[in-house]
Amino acid sequence: MSRLIPAAERIVRARALIQQARELPVPPDIEGGRNNFSYIAGVKDLLRQARDLVKFISMTAGVSAEMKEEVKKVYQEAEQADQEILR
């Protein structure tokens, strides 16, 4: 059985995944650079994992308004990272 991860820890881990996506090395231009499908898939996967970590926090009973606001910020950070990295 998996252990429960507290909401604050999920937000920290999600931000770490977003940072990891930003630091993913771009392949050399010979292979297509930023248009390389494996690079794009790696970035998208890390950002998806970050979103999945915080997806249900705002639907959980007893979560503070500040925590819900942090979840919104994580979603915005993931979208911004997607725009900056892949476009």
In a domain, 3, yes or no: no
Does residue 85 surpass a pLDDT of 70?
yes
Closest CA to 70 of 10, 27, 28: 10
pLDDT digits (tens, 9 = 90+) for 47-63: 999 999 999 999 988 89
Question: What is the span of the domain harbouring residue 51?
Answer: 20-86
Degrees, nearest 5: CA angle 11-16-53 = 40
For residues 43 and 25, the answer to whether their CB atoms sit within 8 Å is no
Query: According to the model, what pLDDT value does residue 32 have?
Result: 67
In a domain, 51, yes or no: yes
Q: What are the angstrom distances between the C-alpha of 17 and each of 30, 49, 68? A: 27, 7, 19
Domain count, the chain: 1
pLDDT digits (tens, 9 = 90+) for 3-43: 888 999 999 999 999 999 999 998 887 666 678 888 999 99
In a domain, 64, yes or no: yes
C-alpha 60, offset from chain centre: 20
Does residue 77 surpass a pLDDT of 90?
yes
Query: According to the model, what pLDDT value does residue 31 have?
Result: 60
In a domain, 2, yes or no: no
For residues 50 and 73, the answer to whether their CB atoms sit within 8 Å is no
